[in-house]
Every structure is written in C-alpha cells, then in structure tokens.
C-alpha cells in the first residue's frame, strides 16, 4: 500500500482515508518510514514532500480516532529509533 501512495494525489488520499482501518494506518506509517529510509535517496524533493504530507495526514487521522495513546506512541517511537540506528539516507 505504501507504493500506491506515490500514485495518489493528496486530495484523493484524504477522500479515501476514512475507509482505511486504524490498524492498517499504523501499519502504513511503519511501511512509509521504512521505505523512506531504504529508498529515500532515489526520490526527488517533490516526492519526498508529497509522502511527508501524506504521513502527516495519517498521523492526524490517527490522533482524531484517538488511536495514538501513550502505549501506541511509545511503540511507534521505539520503531522509529530502531530504524534510525541504520544509516541515514536523506
């Protein structure tokens, strides 16, 4: 699903967002973050900005759904820290 985000406009993504379940959104955030670190050096600045906006939209939607409580944020930060220990790409 993370690959499909490149083909969607931000407006189309916002319209489809309510159909996506919360667990899928959390999984999507993790996939986006891992994809950014593994392939980010190949992306143009426009693509990076687009995917960052979509990531922010997902996080806002998870906050709206009250899915990002202390436990979930702790798990998310641990995942980010684990990935950040790898070589920084962009």
> What residue segments make up the domains of the chain, in order of their start?
3-84
Q: What is the 3-state secondary structure (H, E, C) of 28-65?
A: HHHHHHHHHHHHHHHCCHHHHHHHHHHHHHHHHHHHHC
| pLDDT digit string, tens, across residues 36-90 | 888 888 888 898 889 889 988 988 888 888 877 767 777 777 777 776 676 555 5
| pLDDT digit string, tens, across residues 13-31 | 888 888 888 888 888 888 8
């Amino acid at each position: 699903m993370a690959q499909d985000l490149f083909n969607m406009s931000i407006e189309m993504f916002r319209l489809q967002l309510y159909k996506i379940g919360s667990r899928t959104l959390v999984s999507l955030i993790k996939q986006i973050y891992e994809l950014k670190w593994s392939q980010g050096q190949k992306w143009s600045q426009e693509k990076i900005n687009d995917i960052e906006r979509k990531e922010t939209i997902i996080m806002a939607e998870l906050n709206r759904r009250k899915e990002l409580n202390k436990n979930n944020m702790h798990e998310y930060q641990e995942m980010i820290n684990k990935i950040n220990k790898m070589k920084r790409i962009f």
